[in-house]
């Protein structure tokens, strides 16, 4: 009995995931022909609440793409892969305090801020570096123009409120 | 050993830094994607509502036909109204005289144009409009008359040749956004013999400087008639202007002569060319094509006979009943209403449909050709249709406008169709970029993008997204409230246990069905309803912080809702009925129109209170209703709202 209910529960969950994925996909499906530009897949996946790294994203794209890359991803291939991702709760988003600690690692003197140059250095020099556009965008919101630095605690608080 | 330890510590440190950077980058990319998605959702909302509105507009045309059929009183007693509705010639002869008699006082310090116009007049206008001056009606009418004369000499399609040294610039919809035109002229240069332009329709409506845009474009045209090309868009239509704001703009800026200006404009629109063909390769038209598009026919028709998309050819005898857009069927509506020679005053049904397709269609990825259900007119055409029509006429490319694109332009159908849209921030500050294209023979087209910003220029992305999103959600909520009764009925039908809750799926299904908007409801639900931890929706929560203002307390909500929902349609209908532009209609007329309206739109509302409502609002107490005042009284109040109520008034 419990198994049946569980199965039904999963079926309903899957159906709801399918609808969510379809909604997110359709918003980027400009020509309404069940394909999206491969360059938008990252945005779509992230809009569904997942936070894959660039490397993980690359692997996902390989999974949902065609044998011969066409520059487009088809919904029929995307749906099952994405459903699995959601069911398995993969690529969970970064919690606020983890983010805060990451900033603190880059600020060993515990000043409470990073200078603009330091932020640029880390974001474009380490890890999975930002493109110039990404860097500029982050700077426009994060940098306090008077001190030319990012007060990361405030920044995080602001971004988190905004998301909710 | 010392070195060894310190280098391994350094490694550890840099490893930590690497991980930290990864965390931040990962988080940021997720955040960025959320913002982008929110922007897209907002655009989808704006677009769905915009197209649903356009569909409402086209439904009005059915209503007018229906009205002519049934409004027997009008047939007998007010032939003037009927001729107004039935597309007959408005007396032309006294116009020229009228204009010449207008006096420009010495105290007028706006721009004074000198005929014949030269390029200095273009500069003059630009400078004046930058300082928010208004061009005097005398000059407006002079420009309009001269423009009309010149347009009448133009063919339906202008054929242009470019050369490697002479590119042509193609601009899309401007919709009254003057700053975008200024930017284009500034970035790309003023029009001239060596710098030709095509403006691909929709110069007016929605933005607040449609008049100024028209003046600059028409003056540019008069100065450079061979190098400034204007194509008609679906908003170059006096009935669209009534709903989408241009009529209001004119009447507001030109209190004395506004009506005359509108009359002349009505005519001018019909004389705008249908399209341009560049180097016999590129077809530039406003909307799109259909599988039956016949360019040869379109070259030949008398384009000035298409007054408005809302006035399809009325069948003169039973044989030519229209299936499209005329629910009246085969009944004869002529009955002696039409004046002499009426057959020759309108296009044939086939010709009319050809032009509507050109002005209203949208390209889509799906193959084939389908009715454009989003807008209610024209069609959706697929890549196969594009290939077929382009090949048929040995063309290589179609450049069109008509749809707002986030990047200002979009290429589809394997590079054969380009959409160019030139009104940046069309829906809201930050909603989209604008673009223009430069083409010349032998080279690929070049794209230029821009986004006009004002004081909010330096706001970070997330703040701009918030503004766009709030606006979109607000509009969506107003749609919801205008159909509150229907929505609640459907919700309650599914809520058998009367718990006040539904699953998200049930809620989404109901919303889509009742509102008729194809939107990602699940993703939007967090903005529109409260959800509990089980994921169930409290469906009444949407209506808690928003209501329609009741102009009269005792009147039922359903009646208020209905008037609110159809307020744009009603305004247009009243405007058309009010043939002498008094702003008033009699109680009798109001009641008869309401009855017809109810019957045609199948509105089920108990209007025993209608009299009460109108009597309470008959402020003049003389048996007539000031309909603009009447409709203004129906607006939505958002309880927790920073925007003022004036943002939600009738367009």
Domain boundaries, chain B: 19-75+463-548, 126-138+151-316+347-450, 558-647
Give the mean model confidence (pLDDT) for residues B115-131.
Answer: 94
Instruction: Tell me which chain A residue has its CA closest to the CA of residue B16.
Output: A105
Residue B89 has pLDDT above 70, yes or no: no
pLDDT at B68: 64
Instruction: Tell me which chain B residue has its CA closest to the CA of residue A101.
Output: B20
Residue B73 has pLDDT above 90, yes or no: no
Greater confidence (B12 vs B114) lies with B114
Instruction: Tell me which chain A residue has its CA closest to the CA of residue B417.
Output: A31
Per-residue pLDDT tens digits for B186-198: 999 999 999 999 9
**B434 token code pair:** 């604008």
pLDDT at B324: 36
The ipTM assigned to this model is 0.92
Closest of B27, B581, B247 to residue A91, by C-alpha? B27
Does A127 sit within 8 Å of B25, measured CB to CB?
yes
Query: pLDDT-derived band of residue B449, with 50, 70 and 90 as boundaries?
Result: very high
Chain A hits for B27, CB-CB cut-off 8 Å, are: 51, 93-94, 99, 102
Q: Which of B10-19, B490-499, B546-555, B563-572 has the lowest mean pLDDT?
A: B546-555
Chain A hits for B25, CB-CB cut-off 8 Å, are: 54, 123, 127-130
pLDDT at B135: 94
Does B33 sit within 8 Å of A102, measured CB to CB?
no
Which residues are CB-neighbours of B322 under 8 A, at least 6 positions away?
A: B312, B313, B315, B349
Does B412 sit within 8 Å of A31, measured CB to CB?
yes
Q: Is residue A26 part of a domain?
A: yes
Greater confidence (B576 vs B537) lies with B537
Do A100 and A81 fall within a single domain? no
Does B19 sit within 8 Å of A163, measured CB to CB?
no
Query: pLDDT-derived band of residue B325, with 50, 70 and 90 as boundaries?
Result: very low
pLDDT at B290: 96
Tell me the three state secondary structure of residue B192.
strand
pLDDT at B326: 35
Q: Are B57 and A70 in contact (CB under 8 A)?
A: no
Tell me the angle at which helices B2-70 and A2-28 cross, rounded to the nearest 10 degrees: 80
Does A128 sit within 8 Å of B22, measured CB to CB?
yes
Q: Which residues of A122-137 are buried (b: 16+ CB within 10 A; e: fewer)?
A: bbbebbbebeeebbeb
Does B32 sit within 8 Å of A134, measured CB to CB?
yes
Residue among B136, B175, B235, B257 flagged as catalytic: B235
Chain B hits for A126, CB-CB cut-off 8 Å, are: 17-18, 21-22
Task: Tally the C-alpha atoms within 13 A of residue B128's C-alpha that lie toward its C-beta.
Answer: 20
Chain B hits for A130, CB-CB cut-off 8 Å, are: 25, 28
Closest of B569, B645, B618, B585 to residue B54, by C-alpha? B569
pLDDT at B79: 55
Instruction: Tell me which chain B residue has its CA closest to the CA of residue A41.
Output: B33
Average per-residue pLDDT in chain A?
A: 87
Q: Which of A154-163, B257-266, B437-446 has the lowest mean pLDDT?
A: A154-163
**A115 token code pair:** 């200078």
Give the mean model confidence (pLDDT) for residues B299-324.
Answer: 67
- Which of A15, A31, A163 to mutate to test binding with chain B, by most B CBs within 10 Å of its CB? A31
pLDDT at B619: 57
Residue B76 has pLDDT above 80, yes or no: no
Tell me the angle at which helices B119-130 and B178-188 cross, rounded to the nearest 10 degrees: 130
Do A63 and A30 fall within a single domain? yes
Does A46 sit within 8 Å of B33, measured CB to CB?
yes
Does B522 sit within 8 Å of A19, measured CB to CB?
yes
pLDDT at A2: 61
Residue B151 has pLDDT above 80, yes or no: yes
d(CA A23, CA B522): 8
Q: How buried is A4 (Cβ within 10 angstroms: 0-12 exposed, 13-18 middle, 19+ buried)?
A: exposed
Residue B365 to chain A, least CA–CA distance (Å): 4
Chain A hits for B528, CB-CB cut-off 8 Å, are: none
d(CA A78, CA A44): 11
Tell me the three state secondary structure of residue A114.
strand
* Pick from B19, B364, B505: CB nearest A16: B505
Closest of B211, B294, B213 to residue B252, by C-alpha? B211
Query: pLDDT-derived band of residue B144, with 50, 70 and 90 as boundaries?
Result: very high
- Third-level CATH fold of B126-138+151-316+347-450: Purple Acid Phosphatase; chain A, domain 2 (3.60.21)
Stretch (H or E) spanning B246: helix B246-253
* Pick from A28, A94, A163: CB nearest B40: A28
Query: pLDDT-derived band of residue B340, with 50, 70 and 90 as boundaries?
Result: very low
Which residues are CB-neighbours of B183 under 8 A, at least 6 positions away?
A: B434, B450, B452
Cis ω for the linkage preceding B116 (within 30 of 0): yes
Residue B211 has pLDDT above 50, yes or no: yes
DSSP lists the bridge partners of residue B421 as B173
Among A121-130, B70-79, B580-589, the range of highest mean pLDDT: A121-130
Among B16-30, B465-479, B630-644, the range of highest mean pLDDT: B16-30
Q: Which of A135-139, A157-161, B311-315, B568-572 has the lowest mean pLDDT?
A: B311-315
Greater confidence (B127 vs B559) lies with B127
Residue B432 to chain A, least CA–CA distance (Å): 15
Q: Are B421 and B50 in contact (CB under 8 A)?
A: no
CATH number for position A116: 1.10.238.10
DSSP label of B313: P
- Which of B22, B30, B51, B383 to mutate to test binding with chain A, by most A CBs within 10 Å of its CB? B30
Pairing relation of β-strands A35-37 and A72-74? antiparallel
Residue A128 to chain B, least CA–CA distance (Å): 6
d(CA B173, CA B402): 7
pLDDT at B96: 61
Do A107 and A143 fall within a single domain? yes
DSSP label of B90: P
Chain A hits for B364, CB-CB cut-off 8 Å, are: 31-33
Does B19 sit within 8 Å of A102, measured CB to CB?
yes
Do A72 and A128 fall within a single domain? no
Residue B382 to chain A, least CA–CA distance (Å): 9
Do A59 and A119 fall within a single domain? no
| Residue B223 CB neighbour total at 10 angstroms | 19
What's the structural domain count of chain A? Answer: 2
Q: What percent of chain B has pLDDT over 70?
A: 82
DSSP line for B397-431 = EEEE--S--TTSEEEETTTTEEEEB--TTSSSTTS
Tell me the three state secondary structure of residue B370.
strand
Query: pLDDT-derived band of residue B620, with 50, 70 and 90 as boundaries?
Result: low
Does A126 sit within 8 Å of B18, measured CB to CB?
yes
Do A42 and A59 fall within a single domain? yes
Residue B125 to chain A, least CA–CA distance (Å): 37
How many contacts (CB atoms, under 8 Å) link A and B?
135
pLDDT at B391: 96
* Pick from B18, B20, B37: CB nearest A43: B37
**B445 token code pair:** 């087209």
Instruction: Tell me which chain A residue has its CA closest to the CA of residue B362.
Output: A31
* Pick from A106, A129, A159: CB nearest B20: A106
Angle formed at CA B278 by CA B277 and CA B284, multiple of 5 degrees = 50
Instruction: Tell me which chain B residue has its CA closest to the CA of residue A49.
Output: B30
Query: pLDDT-derived band of residue B283, with 50, 70 and 90 as boundaries?
Result: very high
For chain B, state the CA radius of gyration: 27
* Pick from B23, B36, B461: CB nearest A99: B23
Stretch (H or E) spanning B29: helix B2-70
Query: pLDDT-derived band of residue A131, with 50, 70 and 90 as boundaries?
Result: very high
Residue B205 to chain A, least CA–CA distance (Å): 25
Among A4-18, A86-100, A134-148, B209-223, the range of highest mean pLDDT: B209-223
Please give the torsion angle defined by the CA atoms of residues B54, B60, B61 and B65, in that order, rounded to the nearest 10 degrees: 170
- Cα of A72 vs its chain's centroid, Å: 20
For B558-647, the fitting CATH number among 3.90.870.10, 1.10.645.10, 1.10.238.10, 3.90.550.10 is: 1.10.238.10
Do A71 and A114 fall within a single domain? no
Task: Tally the C-alpha atoms within 13 A of residue B266's C-alpha that lie toward its C-beta.
Answer: 22
Give the mean model confidence (pLDDT) for residues B246-268.
Answer: 88
Which residues are CB-neighbours of B184 under 8 A, at least 6 positions away?
A: B169, B171, B422, B436, B450
Q: Are B290 and B336 in contact (CB under 8 A)?
A: no
**Cα–Cα distance list, B463 to A12, A141, A158, B407, B429 (Å):** 36, 9, 11, 19, 11
Tell me the three state secondary structure of residue B278.
strand
Does A141 sit within 8 Å of B366, measured CB to CB?
no
Residue A93 to chain B, least CA–CA distance (Å): 7
Which residues are CB-neighbours of A74 under 8 A, at least 6 positions away?
A: A34, A35, A66
Do A20 and A81 fall within a single domain? yes
Does A31 sit within 8 Å of B20, measured CB to CB?
no
Q: Which residues of B touch A (CB under 8 A)?
A: 16-34, 36-37, 40-41, 44, 363-366, 410, 412, 458, 460-462, 466, 504-505, 508, 520-523, 535
Does B30 sit within 8 Å of A51, measured CB to CB?
yes
Average per-residue pLDDT in chain B?
A: 82
**B96 token code pair:** 């020229």
Do A82 and A129 fall within a single domain? no
Greater confidence (B188 vs B257) lies with B188
Query: pLDDT-derived band of residue B4, with 50, 70 and 90 as boundaries?
Result: low
Question: Which one of A87, A111, A138 terminates a domain?
Answer: A87
Q: Are B135 and B100 in contact (CB under 8 A)?
A: no
Which residues are CB-neighbours of B617 under 8 A, at least 6 positions away?
A: B551, B552, B625, B629, B630, B633
Residue A109 to chain B, least CA–CA distance (Å): 14
Residue B581 has pLDDT above 80, yes or no: no
Does B235 participate in catalysis according to the annotation? yes
Q: Which residues of B63-89 are buried (b: 16+ CB within 10 A; e: fewer)?
A: bbbbbbbbbeebbeeeeebbbebbbbe
Greater confidence (B479 vs B437) lies with B437
Chain B hits for A28, CB-CB cut-off 8 Å, are: 40
Residue B416 has pLDDT above 60, yes or no: yes
Q: Residue A57: which domain range?
A: 2-87
Query: pLDDT-derived band of residue A143, with 50, 70 and 90 as boundaries?
Result: confident
Chain B hits for A163, CB-CB cut-off 8 Å, are: 31, 34
pLDDT at B547: 82
B438: left (phi over 0), alpha (psi -120 to 50) or beta: beta
Q: Are B417 and B363 in contact (CB under 8 A)?
A: yes
Q: Is residue A164 part of a domain?
A: no
Which residues are CB-neighbours of B172 under 8 A, at least 6 positions away?
A: B200, B201, B202, B401, B402, B409, B419, B420, B421, B422, B423, B434, B435, B436
Do A63 and A8 fall within a single domain? yes
Pairing relation of β-strands B434-439 and B168-171? antiparallel
Does A103 sit within 8 Å of B16, measured CB to CB?
no
Which residues are CB-neighbours of B303 under 8 A, at least 6 positions away?
A: B156, B232, B270, B271, B273, B274, B355
Number of H helices, E strands in chain A: 8, 4
Does A16 sit within 8 Å of B29, measured CB to CB?
no
Query: pLDDT-derived band of residue B464, with 50, 70 and 90 as boundaries?
Result: confident
Do A30 and A101 fall within a single domain? no
Instruction: Tell me which chain A residue has its CA closest to the CA of residue B48.
Output: A27
Query: pLDDT-derived band of residue B457, with 50, 70 and 90 as boundaries?
Result: low
Query: pLDDT-derived band of residue B646, with 50, 70 and 90 as boundaries?
Result: very low
Q: Which of B83-87, B269-273, B489-493 has the lowest mean pLDDT?
A: B83-87
Q: Which residues of A144-159 are buried (b: 16+ CB within 10 A; e: fewer)?
A: eeeeebbbbeebbeeb
Query: pLDDT-derived band of residue B372, with 50, 70 and 90 as boundaries?
Result: confident
pLDDT at B618: 63
Does A24 sit within 8 Å of B523, measured CB to CB?
yes
Residue B410 to chain A, least CA–CA distance (Å): 9
DSSP line for B480-518 = HHHTHHHHHHHHHHH-TT--SEEEHHHHHHHHHHHH---
Instruction: Tell me which chain A residue has its CA closest to the CA of residue B414.
Output: A31
Instruction: Tell me which chain A residue has its CA closest to the CA of residue B504.
Output: A16
């Amino acid at each position: 009995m419990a198994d049946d209910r569980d199965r039904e529960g999963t079926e309903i969950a899957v159906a709801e995931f399918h609808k969510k994925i379809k909604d997110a996909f359709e918003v980027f499906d400009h020509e309404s022909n069940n394909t999206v530009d491969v360059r938008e897949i990252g945005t779509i996946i992230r809009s569904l609440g997942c936070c894959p790294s660039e490397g993980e994203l690359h692997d996902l794209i390989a999974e949902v793409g065609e044998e011969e890359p066409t520059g487009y991803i088809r919904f029929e291939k995307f749906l099952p892969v994405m459903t699995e991702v959601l069911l398995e709760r993969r690529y969970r988003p970064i919690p606020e305090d983890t983010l805060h600690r990451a900033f603190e690692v880059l600020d060993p003197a515990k000043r409470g801020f990073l200078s603009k140059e330091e932020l640029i250095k880390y974001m474009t020099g380490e890890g999975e570096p930002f493109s110039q556009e990404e860097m500029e965008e982050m700077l426009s919101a994060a940098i306090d123009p008077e001190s030319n630095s990012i007060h990361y605690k405030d920044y995080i608080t602001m971004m988190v409120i905004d998301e909710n | 050993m010392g070195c060894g330890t310190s280098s391994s510590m350094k490694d550890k440190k840099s490893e930590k830094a690497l991980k930290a950077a990864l965390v931040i980058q990962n988080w940021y990319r997720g955040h960025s994607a959320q913002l982008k998605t929110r922007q897209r959702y907002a655009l989808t909302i704006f677009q769905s509502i915009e197209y649903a509105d356009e569909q409402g507009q086209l439904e009005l045309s059915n209503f007018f036909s229906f009205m002519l059929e049934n409004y027997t009183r009008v047939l007998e007693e007010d032939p003037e109204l009927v001729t107004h509705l039935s597309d007959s010639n408005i007396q032309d002869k006294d116009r020229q005289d009228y204009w010449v008699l207008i006096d420009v006082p010495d105290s007028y310090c706006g721009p004074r144009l000198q005929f014949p116009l030269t390029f200095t007049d273009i500069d003059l206008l630009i400078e004046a409009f930058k300082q928010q001056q208004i061009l005097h009606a005398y000059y407006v009418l002079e420009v309009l008359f001269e423009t009309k004369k010149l347009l009448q000499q133009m063919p339906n399609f202008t054929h242009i040749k470019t050369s490697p040294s002479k590119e042509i610039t193609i601009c899309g919809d401007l919709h009254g956004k003057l700053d975008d035109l200024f930017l284009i002229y500034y970035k790309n240069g003023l029009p001239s013999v060596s710098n030709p332009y095509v403006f691909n329709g929709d110069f007016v409506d929605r933005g607040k400087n449609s008049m100024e845009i028209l003046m600059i474009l028409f003056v540019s045209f008069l100065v450079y008639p061979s190098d400034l090309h204007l194509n008609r868009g679906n908003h170059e239509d006096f009935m669209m202007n009534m709903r989408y704001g241009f009529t209001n703009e004119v009447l507001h800026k030109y209190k004395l002569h506004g009506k005359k200006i509108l009359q002349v404009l009505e005519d001018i629109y019909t004389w705008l060319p249908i399209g341009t063909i560049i180097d016999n390769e590129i077809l530039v038209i406003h909307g799109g094509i259909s599988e039956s598009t016949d360019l040869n026919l379109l070259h030949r028709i008398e384009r000035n006979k298409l007054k408005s998309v809302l006035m399809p050819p009325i069948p003169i005898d039973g044989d030519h009943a229209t299936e499209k857009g005329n629910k009246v069927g085969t009944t004869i509506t002529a009955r002696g209403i039409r004046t002499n020679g009426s057959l020759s005053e309108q296009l044939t049904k086939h010709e009319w449909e050809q032009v509507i397709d050109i002005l209203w269609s949208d390209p889509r990825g799906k193959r084939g050709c389908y009715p454009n259900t989003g807008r209610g007119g024209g069609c959706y055409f697929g890549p196969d249709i594009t290939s077929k029509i382009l090949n048929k006429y040995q063309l290589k490319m179609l450049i069109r406008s008509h749809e707002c694109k986030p990047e200002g332009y979009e290429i589809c159908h394997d590079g054969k169709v380009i959409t160019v849209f030139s009104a940046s921030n069309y829906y809201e500050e930050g909603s989209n970029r604008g673009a223009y294209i430069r083409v010349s023979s032998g080279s690929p087209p070049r794209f230029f993008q821009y986004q006009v910003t004002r004081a909010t220029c330096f706001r970070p992305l997330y703040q701009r997204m918030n503004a766009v999103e709030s606006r979109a959600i607000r509009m969506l909520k107003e749609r919801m409230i205008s159909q509150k009764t229907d929505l609640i009925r459907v919700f309650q039908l599914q809520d058998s246990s009367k718990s006040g809750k539904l699953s998200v799926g049930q809620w989404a299904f109901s919303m889509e069905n009742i509102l008729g908007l194809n939107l990602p409801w699940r993703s939007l639900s967090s903005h529109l309803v409260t959800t509990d931890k089980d994921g169930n929706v409290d469906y009444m929560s949407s209506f808690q912080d928003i209501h329609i203002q009741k102009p009269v307390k005792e009147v039922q909500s359903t009646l208020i809702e209905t008037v609110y929902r159809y307020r744009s349609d009603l305004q247009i209908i009243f405007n058309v009925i009010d043939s002498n532009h008094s702003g008033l209609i009699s109680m009798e007329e109001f009641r008869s129109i309401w009855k017809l309206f109810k019957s045609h739109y199948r509105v089920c509302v108990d209007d025993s209170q209608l009299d009460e409502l109108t009597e309470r609002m008959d402020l003049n107490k003389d048996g007539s209703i000031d309909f603009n005042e009447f409709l203004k009284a129906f607006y939505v109040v958002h309880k927790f709202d920073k925007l003022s109520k004036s943002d939600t008034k009738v367009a």
